[in-house]
Structure 1
């Protein structure tokens, strides 16, 4: 990182020094020198405009100030879409005497106004700030001196996205000021800073979000030792004030920490400002009272094996807060909490909360908790409280919601958890919710008679005395009732006995508890009893489990942002037994496609209760018309979105019998589909699948394997019968690429193919990855109006028609790494016997050799006279003259030539001399050898190109997978924009250097 800073400053010094050197006279040379220095030192794209560099001696006299606007750096792959740093305006000050008379300029001030820094570290440790070329030197040499007495930063954003450490930080609207003198390696920096903390997360847990930060301290920075020391300073997060001092050092892979912190002059309102949802625009109007104290330290080594020792304590005494315009407060808030670990092992962390109490209006809640460590989990805790829900809305601002009822909680736990000794804490916990009532302003009817009676008991601490008893659960919504019970005993066996019965209207529930972006309606009716033991589940003894009953869904509809196509279930009925769920009826419409299903599911209990278990089943699926395209796009619109890879679940083992009258896939219409499908371990296999399409019949066996989403595989055996050649050309990109001749063919074909390769992210086969073997059979076809055919007739003069008729052709073909190799096959071209061989590349290139045997009389009187003059004899019709034709270029722009001569006359002379000399190898053999030598060279080039393309596509696919994680960064940036309230100036959309 230090090298990065020096490189950036070096570039700026070079740019600014150039501004002094008569830029209007030497501009071109200066720009050329700048670009040269950048290209030799920076492995990234640097953008700037020479016109945006200015010089002034009046801004900080007696210093000379140079300013550059719109300067930045964009990374090279894999960071080509990430702007590492962008600066709206950067002013750099130099000591005037050093510029005029010194050997090197002395840097005295930095002023940054607007911009952003985005640091990104991938899972493998690759970082986008590592933009310097490798050097044997430990540090780049510096030809300038640093003695800064002023640093100013205003309106700057920083996003740090470390996917190796799983650490994420987004800071916005940073304002910083530092003063003093320091050297390049060790220096003191008094600094003031303000920022908006948009997000700070570690290992998936968010610690701070949408908080205001302000701080002032004295930093000592030792770049050689990578040590950062903090003097006694004052810091604020929202209204919470604390002191912070100590050091952070990173001399090697370890992180050394020695930090202490404590609250300063805080009241209860200070810590209240940290609670999400409370620190709003009217926070200053909230009435508060009470005191608060906070202190702690963090000291030790952090690495994969060690965690620093720490001790953090918080105390709140006599706290109270009350929202304006609401009648009741939360009062008598007292908290004493200490989280401590005196070792370098995080498992030795203890938590002690000897005091906790508060009053929700007139309802007191109190508790205590002690946890000795994270190994034995020895604990002692209690929680007691009684809450009148009707008072909640008079304490907290909850618009449009009416609550009633009494919630009574009384819980105690003491002891330790030891699975080997079959010991758990003694527990006596009871929760009672009585006559609860919930009414939303968005729906006229309330949820009534909501009652929950639950208890957790273990009087002895033995696992077999453990009991969870949900003796009562139920509610009513517009004369529809839900009721249930559940009892679990013996912590080691987890025996259960429960039941659920009633009707639930999803539309009504969603109206009362709305969820953004979701539409849901319909009813579910259930009557289920279940009894068993989790020990039997683990052992697979499903015959001992007793889950039975029935459930039905009617008029169900669901759609969301993630499922815009929507699912509608007209009617679904299922009954349950211990070993399976029988789906007796499933009448639905998924998106725009009707779907009927029946069958069964097994291993469902294990699948629900355990991780890494597989749901098994056998289903029969029927559809009159199924549109696959709408499930292969992000938005459900085939017009606006490209097809994307379909991921398959790895914990599903289904055998499916499928029948569909019509299926739409890409631009294909498939009819009368029949076959068996198997989904197992994330791979979809096809067996004896058949369909009608392109005027013929397709039989198929094979598999689709998307387990590697960056390179999904397919492997099929196809039997194609009586398919239309022109329709195949219009429908298949593969045919367009490898058989472009099909666009000028009429007729049908039959073939058996073994076909495998990789799919792109658009679910289309990557032509460069294809492997194929098969025999193409054409009973009868017509070839006409082709540029290729016109070229052959024009060259040979053998026939002036642009139509060829083919009958009973058998063409062996093979595709390997994107190159189609056509083995030699015999064919009649017009009335002449011919043999054709060659190849077509995935890039559209063709390379073919046609050997023809042409009767001498077909060449015309002038050619026959030439033949007679050379041979001394009159050539008769039975004399066959060999002709070899080379085809190259592309199909639509072919290069056609004759082997053995550049004209028919030269070719005939060479052919006749070859015959007269009775040479062992005639002209066709010579042409074949020359062709094969050239073809081998072309195949090597195509294979290399194929591998390069696949590597490039693999990187592109990896990038798309990574974009999922990039969404967190985008969300953070959007949050910054939302918090800051004004858009940043647009950054340049080009990396071109001026």
Structure 2
């Protein structure tokens, strides 16, 4: 075509469009009110519920080249009696006419557009529907001028909700663009529908299906208005990656009667999983398949407020490969036959899901199985599984949220059966049937976010009802080892269900437990080798978390334990855990050259407020070793090199920690009744300050055969009541000591040192001579552990003088009263020294 021809085509087209616009404008001007009145009158004949319209008008532009009646902000009330709730809401609703028909004064509505709206379909518990808004046509004569002859319906951005209270079902979707072409021939309507929608959920009996899926629809229907039935000649629905073919018949002359067939198209594992609720789909939703996977089903029978149709779905695979896309590890040669039916009564109680003749290979190791899931309302589960698993390969095929790596071999031959509810409570133990056993052979497991490796795990586990009998289960956790014999109760509920408690009743034996590792918070670095020596640390960070879903009652026998500098041996006792509270009626061990026994409670219910209440008894613990093991109790004033002796004590304590085992010292309280035998204070620098009164050589090794006192700890302070220290010094055989020592290393000690002079009359075994009576010197030691000062205790000196004067005065009164003369050789009353301050 030459340029002149093209120019003419364009000119004629523009002229035609202009002519249509002129004609349309003329019609709008002359016929607008008439067309709207005819439309309203015809609509009122067919509607029996209230309709509200914000604005109504006639437009040539909105649906050009057709003329359109435009309704804005439309609300159609639902058909429930006295209800004002909307059935349909739409921002825009269009009904279009052919412009040529309008010129001939024949107004035929051929298309309807519903845009930016919402449709809410409801069924009450008795089966009554809310969409019965159309009234029967009672007119005697047909309106020759105006009629609804729809040939096309378009839904754009329309939200659809379906709520059926009787069946406990709820559907929600939003159409993007769905079109239905209509062809009316006598009593038959042919419908060709296609479009896209976003399916938010299909909820049936509380389970959500097809959640958050993209839906593509393409189907052909034949509506027989005389027979009141819909025939689906061909239909295809794509839900996410899954595609399904649908065909069959729907009769609606009375209760809806279904006879439908459906099948998967190009079926894979995703096609099957798309049918499952998310609680099942999430477990397997990432998996992919290769090979022959099939899926088909039927729906037959009446569906109404009182009846459900018979549903039968068959699915399975033959020689398929099933794999996780991340690891690419596979289950090979997988075969199974599956079926779902809602049973003879077509409800949840008679529903049944079966997986039969399960066969396959995991890393060339065969396995077989069977699963039956009956009664969706009160589920009954039956499982059989037999095979040998390579742990490393199994964890790659089925990644576990709690396990990062593993190795070794597990042999399984088990059968489980019982109501799912029975797995959840101790009352249901008798209703659970389980048998078979599991064997570990040199298994290693790495728990995520825990530094130590479980390795060399071997043992036999025998199922009995809902419990597991453990025989000879031994292995290592880091450098620690264990042998466990006993029962794991409610193990099935703990494994398969959430928020279930596991109860362990067992005997635990160990050669060595390393609590530096067991309580460590250090995490395994990604890519590190899977070896038991991977976690070695110089300054470990600790973490104590007690699971609310673990209870135990364990008799322990441990040869050696280690925690920081602490070393213990021959540990024996009972440990119990219930509701995050660990208790021990008796736990004894040998440590630091003596015996150590404890009974008490550790309450870990509050993560950062762990309370430890104990009664501890120690016998013959070496003092220097005790200070070394407990790292001098966090101070450097009196350390292990200064001390010798054997400690026997009873300690009542309330201690508090956060989950990192950092002590909350402001809340700590304790009462310590202590006795030290054959004690020595060696080269203790503050004692050298007494050199003006006691020989240095004696102060360098101050010995005391016995010392007893009761100490208190409260408000971050150690309180030391006055005690008498009987020492080996020649001039001060009994030294009085009292004071306080804070956790911030602030010292406030008070000393009373009796000064004795040598005489020829009294000599001890070392040659020292003591007077029967003599003066005392009162001293204080104040400051910090690195900056302290020894001085005369002026307050105690004054108090002592006042006390002596009072005593002398009382004695004098008694002498006068009795008429006696005071002895001439009475010692004069003590007087304060002119030099009250001693700078040592």
TM class, shorter-length = 0.5 to 0.7
Question: Counterpart of 1:385?
Answer: 264
Question: Counterpart of 2:734?
Answer: 833
Question: Counterpart of 1:868?
Answer: none
Query: 3-state SS of the aligned residue for 1:790?
Result: helix
Are 1:500 and 2:379 an aligned pair? no
Between the aligned partners of 2:239 and 2:298, the Cα distance in structure 1 is 21
Query: 3-state SS of the aligned residue for 2:808?
Result: coil
Are 1:635 and 2:533 an aligned pair? no
Q: CA deviation at 1:656?
A: 0.7
Question: Counterpart of 1:274?
Answer: none
Question: Counterpart of 1:705?
Answer: 603
Alpha-carbon spacing, 1:316–1:694, altered in 2? closer, same or farther (3 Å): farther
Deviations 1:535-575 (A, max 9, x none): 55558142232211111121212226523422114422111
Question: Counterpart of 2:60?
Answer: none
Between the aligned partners of 1:811 and 1:467, the Cα distance in structure 2 is 75
Deviations 1:490-521 (A, max 9, x none): 33432333311111222334566789994322
Alpha-carbon spacing, 1:885–1:609, altered in 2? closer, same or farther (3 Å): same
Q: CA deviation at 1:696?
A: 2.0
Deviations 1:131-170 (A, max 9, x none): xxxxxxxxxxxxxxxxxxxxxxxxxxxxxxxxxxxxxxxx
Q: CA deviation at 1:748?
A: 2.0
- Aligned pair partner of 1:811 in 709, 732, 752: 709
Q: CA deviation at 1:692?
A: 2.0
- Aligned pair partner of 2:313 in 411, 429, 441: 429
Between the aligned partners of 1:669 and 1:293, the Cα distance in structure 2 is 78
Question: Counterpart of 1:355?
Answer: 217
Q: CA deviation at 1:384?
A: 3.5
Deviations 1:255-284 (A, max 9, x none): xxxx999xxxxxxxxxxxxxxxxxxxxxxx
Question: Counterpart of 2:689?
Answer: 791
Q: CA deviation at 1:655?
A: 0.5
Instruction: Indicate if the aligned counterparts of 2:411 and 2:438 stay in contact, CA closer than 8 A.
Output: yes
Question: Counterpart of 2:544?
Answer: 646
Alpha-carbon spacing, 1:608–1:338, altered in 2? closer, same or farther (3 Å): closer
Instruction: Indicate if the aligned counterparts of 1:553 and 1:569 stay in contact, CA closer than 8 A.
Output: no
The structure showing larger relative contact order (alpha-carbon pairs under 8 Å, at least 6 residues apart) is 1
Instruction: Indicate if the aligned counterparts of 2:642 and 2:683 stay in contact, CA closer than 8 A.
Output: yes
- Aligned pair partner of 2:418 in 522, 532, 540: 532
Query: For 1:415-814, what aligned pairs fall within 5 Å after superposition?
Result: 427-437=311-321, 447-459=331-343, 460-477=345-362, 479-510=364-395, 518-534=404-420, 536=422, 540-559=427-446, 562-608=449-495, 611-631=498-518, 632-635=520-523, 637=535, 639=537, 642-733=540-631, 735-737=633-635, 740=638, 743-794=641-692, 801-814=699-712
Between the aligned partners of 1:659 and 1:260, the Cα distance in structure 2 is 78
Between the aligned partners of 1:835 and 1:800, the Cα distance in structure 2 is 17
Query: 3-state SS of the aligned residue for 1:620?
Result: strand
Between the aligned partners of 1:423 and 1:662, the Cα distance in structure 2 is 70
Query: 3-state SS of the aligned residue for 2:775?
Result: strand
More displaced stretch, 658-667 vs 444-453 = 444-453
Deviations 1:169-204 (A, max 9, x none): xxxxxxxxxxxxxxxxxxxxxxxxxxxxxxxxxxxx
Q: CA deviation at 1:836?
A: 2.2
Between the aligned partners of 1:724 and 1:531, the Cα distance in structure 2 is 59
Q: CA deviation at 1:704?
A: 2.2
Question: Counterpart of 1:918?
Answer: 808
Between the aligned partners of 1:260 and 1:794, the Cα distance in structure 2 is 104
Deviations 1:866-901 (A, max 9, x none): xxxxxxxxx993332132222221345332111239
Instruction: Indicate if the aligned counterparts of 2:636 and 2:785 stay in contact, CA closer than 8 A.
Output: no
Instruction: Indicate if the aligned counterparts of 1:390 and 1:405 stay in contact, CA closer than 8 A.
Output: no
Deviations 1:69-93 (A, max 9, x none): xxxxxxxxxxxxxxxxxxxxxxxxx
Instruction: Indicate if the aligned counterparts of 1:652 and 1:680 stay in contact, CA closer than 8 A.
Output: yes
Instruction: Indicate if the aligned counterparts of 1:738 and 1:842 stay in contact, CA closer than 8 A.
Output: no
Question: Counterpart of 2:720?
Answer: 822
Query: For 1:166-181, what aligned pairs fall within 5 Å after superposition?
Result: none
Unaligned 5+ segments in structure 1 are: 1-258, 262-291, 299-309, 319-331, 342-346, 369-378, 393-400, 859-874, 928-994
Between the aligned partners of 2:455 and 2:795, the Cα distance in structure 1 is 71
Deviations 1:315-369 (A, max 9, x none): 4899xxxxxxxxxxxxx9953346699xxxxx9x99996937478999953479x
Instruction: Indicate if the aligned counterparts of 1:438 and 1:447 stay in contact, CA closer than 8 A.
Output: yes
Between the aligned partners of 2:480 and 2:217, the Cα distance in structure 1 is 60
Q: CA deviation at 1:639?
A: 2.8
Between the aligned partners of 1:645 and 1:605, the Cα distance in structure 2 is 28
Q: CA deviation at 1:617?
A: 2.2
CA-based RMSD: 5.0
Instruction: Indicate if the aligned counterparts of 1:704 and 1:712 stay in contact, CA closer than 8 A.
Output: yes
Query: 3-state SS of the aligned residue for 2:738?
Result: strand
Alpha-carbon spacing, 1:333–1:654, altered in 2? closer, same or farther (3 Å): farther
Q: CA deviation at 1:607?
A: 3.8
Q: CA deviation at 1:474?
A: 2.2
Question: Counterpart of 1:313?
Answer: 175
Aligned length: 570
Alpha-carbon spacing, 1:832–1:682, altered in 2? closer, same or farther (3 Å): same
Query: 3-state SS of the aligned residue for 1:543?
Result: helix
More displaced stretch, 889-898 vs 841-850 = 889-898
Instruction: Indicate if the aligned counterparts of 1:794 and 1:800 stay in contact, CA closer than 8 A.
Output: no
Between the aligned partners of 1:743 and 1:839, the Cα distance in structure 2 is 22
- Aligned pair partner of 1:409 in 261, 272, 295: 295
Query: For 1:2-17, what aligned pairs fall within 5 Å after superposition?
Result: none
Between the aligned partners of 1:918 and 1:630, the Cα distance in structure 2 is 67
Query: 3-state SS of the aligned residue for 2:633?
Result: helix
Instruction: Indicate if the aligned counterparts of 1:449 and 1:475 stay in contact, CA closer than 8 A.
Output: yes
Instruction: Indicate if the aligned counterparts of 2:451 and 2:521 stay in contact, CA closer than 8 A.
Output: no
Between the aligned partners of 1:917 and 1:416, the Cα distance in structure 2 is 112
Instruction: Indicate if the aligned counterparts of 2:194 and 2:216 stay in contact, CA closer than 8 A.
Output: no
Between the aligned partners of 1:663 and 1:296, the Cα distance in structure 2 is 70
| TM-score (ref. length: structure 2) | 0.58
Question: Counterpart of 2:753?
Answer: 852
Instruction: Indicate if the aligned counterparts of 2:323 and 2:330 stay in contact, CA closer than 8 A.
Output: yes
Alpha-carbon spacing, 1:626–1:652, altered in 2? closer, same or farther (3 Å): same
Alpha-carbon spacing, 1:382–1:726, altered in 2? closer, same or farther (3 Å): farther
Q: CA deviation at 1:413?
A: 7.5
Alpha-carbon spacing, 1:455–1:889, altered in 2? closer, same or farther (3 Å): same
Instruction: Indicate if the aligned counterparts of 1:788 and 1:891 stay in contact, CA closer than 8 A.
Output: no
More displaced stretch, 525-534 vs 442-451 = 442-451
Alpha-carbon spacing, 1:808–1:382, altered in 2? closer, same or farther (3 Å): farther
Between the aligned partners of 1:580 and 1:714, the Cα distance in structure 2 is 32
Unaligned 5+ segments in structure 2 are: 1-89, 93-153, 161-171, 181-192, 203-207, 219-235, 248-257, 272-286, 525-534, 760-768, 812-827, 834-840
Query: 3-state SS of the aligned residue for 2:472?
Result: strand
Q: CA deviation at 1:427?
A: 3.9
Between the aligned partners of 1:422 and 1:611, the Cα distance in structure 2 is 35
Between the aligned partners of 1:529 and 1:366, the Cα distance in structure 2 is 38
Deviations 1:278-301 (A, max 9, x none): xxxxxxxxxxxxxx9974799xxx
Question: Counterpart of 1:365?
Answer: 244
Between the aligned partners of 1:539 and 1:876, the Cα distance in structure 2 is 77
Larger Rg: 2
Deviations 1:927-985 (A, max 9, x none): 9xxxxxxxxxxxxxxxxxxxxxxxxxxxxxxxxxxxxxxxxxxxxxxxxxxxxxxxxxx
Between the aligned partners of 2:805 and 2:656, the Cα distance in structure 1 is 50
| TM-score (ref. length: structure 1) | 0.50
Instruction: Indicate if the aligned counterparts of 1:518 and 1:561 stay in contact, CA closer than 8 A.
Output: yes
Q: CA deviation at 1:732?
A: 1.3
Alpha-carbon spacing, 1:826–1:452, altered in 2? closer, same or farther (3 Å): same
